[in-house]
Amino acid sequence: MSKRYLERGVSSKKEDIHNAIKNHDKGLFKNSFCKIVPDILSNDPEYCNIMHADGAGTKSALAYLYWKETDDLSIWRGIAQDALVMNIDDLICVGVTNNIIMSSTIGRNKHLIPGEVISEIIKGNLDVINMLKKFDINITSAGGETADVGDITKTMIVDSTVIARENRKNIINCDIKDGDVIVGLSSTGKASYEKELNSGIGSNGLTSARHDILSEIYKRKYPETFSDETNPEFIYSGKRMVTDPCNTAINIGKLLLSPTRTYAPIIKKIISSNLNDISGIIHCTGGGQTKVLHFIDKIRIVKDNLFEIPEIFQIIHNDTDTTLKEMYEVFNMGHRMEIYCKPRVAGDIISISKSFNVDAKIIGKVEKSVKKSLIIESEEGIIEY
């Protein structure tokens, strides 16, 4: 990883975290995308429980900056969506697509974050819940916690926790095989269930994205949006303002804050008819296009037909000296959900995705290997991990 990325106190690989948990119990399914435990809730041997926690990350600091610059309070609804979708779309990777209970956890600096912002977060959660209900994906809010923790949170952090109960026979465990093809679901465009064009940014890599392309003016105006320990050289080191125009959003700020797309309606329909032919579903979040490396052994993943790089990632690439090799480790770069499956069902999966106006295609294949590896064919040539 580049010095710039590490200097900001973030890591896409999180080696220290993975080392800390490497000896912990993996649950009922040793290679599932989410940890799965016995059915503690009902003690039914045919069922299991899945609990998951995630959030919007540092995207909330960017939302704060944009809100202060534009007075657009509604931007906070997208942060609620980010926090909830980052959980839901991990659950769908193991086959959970219904009857989910969620709880929201908000830590705020009350000096800077008023109650009207909390109200928008709550409305944002309801927006997502109501939208998914139309597709028979039922999410029940169990409330949550809003803590005033100004001593440890400079602006606000928004997280969610979800829990579900599922029949074990419906669980998707990652068993990616030689001969599988990889179907990627685009992270950009406007899905039939979305209100506006999606930039594809998701909720990963926002620490680097905002500091790399936004102007140093914000360093002086909003010191509460970054860590005092960060080298000043790497704080808002770009040249753009959040209100600068761009091609696929109202402005740069909205491009960066585009709410994380959920693929739940699409995946629900896909697995209802293709479950037995799916070897694994990977949500390309932390680690970007290298996420799959956590779930394979003695397999080579070849991604040789990726989507065109979306505008937001082109801007980051062009405005900085970040290599594509590093960017593929940090960002989704065009597709955030990938399905490993038998070739015979790829066409059906693609058709289902396109029926929701989300582009999809075969982006690669799986091959035997003496060790696990990933090859990406990029504009800069062959990249190997």
- What single DSSP character describes residue 288? G
**Confidence band of 92 (pLDDT split at 50, 70, 90):** very high
Taking 60 as the threshold, does the pLDDT of residue 246 lie above it? yes
Q: How far apart are CA 79 and CA 259, in angstroms?
A: 7
In the structure encoding, which two tokens stand for residue 112, read together?
Answer: 């800077």
Handedness of CA 263, 310, 60, 1 (dihedral sign): positive
Find how far residue 193's CA is from the centre of its chain.
18
* Element counts in the chain: helices (H) and strands (E): 12, 12
Give the 3-state secondary structure of residue 215: strand
Q: How far apart are CA 76 and CA 112, in angstroms?
A: 14
Nearest Cα to 90, choosing from 77, 76, 100? 100
pTM of structure: 0.94
Nearest Cα to 181, choosing from 359, 368, 363? 363
- What is the pairing mode between strands 299-303 and 360-368? antiparallel
Count how many domains the chain has. Answer: 1
Q: How far apart are CA 142 and CA 197, in angstroms?
A: 30
271: domain CATH number?
3.90.650.10
Q: What are the tens digits of pLDDT across the range 148-193? A: 999 999 999 999 999 999 999 999 999 999 999 999 999 999 999 9
- What single DSSP character describes residue 225? G
Name residue, tokens 């309801």: 126
- What is the pairing mode between strands 278-283 and 36-38? unpaired
**Could you list the residue range(s) of the whole structural domain that residue 195 is in?**
3-384
Phi, psi dihedral angles at 212 (to 5 degrees): -75, -35
Q: What are the tens digits of pLDDT across the range 313-356? A: 999 999 988 899 999 999 999 999 999 999 999 999 999 999 99
